[in-house]
Structure 1
Amino acid sequence: MNKFMKRDIATSLTAFLFLVIGTTGVLMYFHLLDNYTKKMHENLGLVFVLVILFHVFFNWKAMKSYFSKKVFLYSGIIISAVALTFILTSKTGENPKTTLINSVLNAPLENSFVIFSESSQIAKEKLEKADLKIDKAKSINELAKLNKTSPFKVVSILSEK
């Protein structure tokens, strides 16, 4: 088997296993078909790790240049920070999803605006169009309380296109 054939096999297996692992992960997240997906997700996840190693090995030259890019470093830092948040909060028994949601809802309003809208100005316009007062609110939670609505309703308004 030549080098290019091995590369094609490694890449194809990586792509298809990614689809299966991603799909089963989403199904597990929403607790759909748990009896069927958990075991498949776990076992194919291990196979996926092996296939990724083969993929990296057979595509090392291209991967090496990719690993040296700043975007790779920044991506690694962001994913590590999120993973660390999940790990640290799971020891306390608090749900990591709740921690992340609360972090966004209690973050300074200007920071939250850029998550959900193109700019702070556009976010403010969306809120005004929905007849929500911003006044002295410092976070999405405060904004929701001020307007006697759910913070998720505020997020929904900010997320509209």
Structure 2
Amino acid sequence: MTSPSSSFPGDVQTVRRYLRQAKEGGFPAVSRPAPPPRRAVRWIATNRGRLSAGDARELKEVRAVCPHLGAAAGHIRDFAAMLHDRRGALLPDWMTGVLADGLPALHSLVTGLRRDQDAVVAGLSSSRSSGQVEGHVTRIKILKRKGHGRANLGLLRKRVLSTT
């Protein structure tokens, strides 16, 4: 019963079921508004030992309200530990655990990792980093953009060499 211009994919029965659940008190009471998503991501990505007591408490409250967020946070922390400790051999087990949960966004991440799994395992295991090279590439791209597309290769070469 939706019009072609409507963005709601459900029907009237879906709305009725939702409202019936609301009337029966099926929704948890919200004492305050949810934190901005960026803040919640920062809490999840930060080492637990470095979170302030207030941030840790708020993260715990958010995870209690949304169990999917708790599962995602666990997978993210496990991946971060794998990255930090250079334990790439644990990647297949981690991917199996992610696929066992109902988190479609992480399923697509696993699909992408599987495309080149050997390289990902090597990257998670190696102590070498391409960060310094990436920094130089970024610097050169900035110099190129400053030329507004008018600089030819000779001028760009002179600018790169004069800044090093």
Q: Which has the higher helix share?
A: 1
Q: TM-score, normalised on structure 2?
A: 0.28
Structure of larger gyration radius:
2
Give the TM-score normalised by structure 1: 0.28
Larger RCO (CA under 8 A, 6+ residues apart): 1
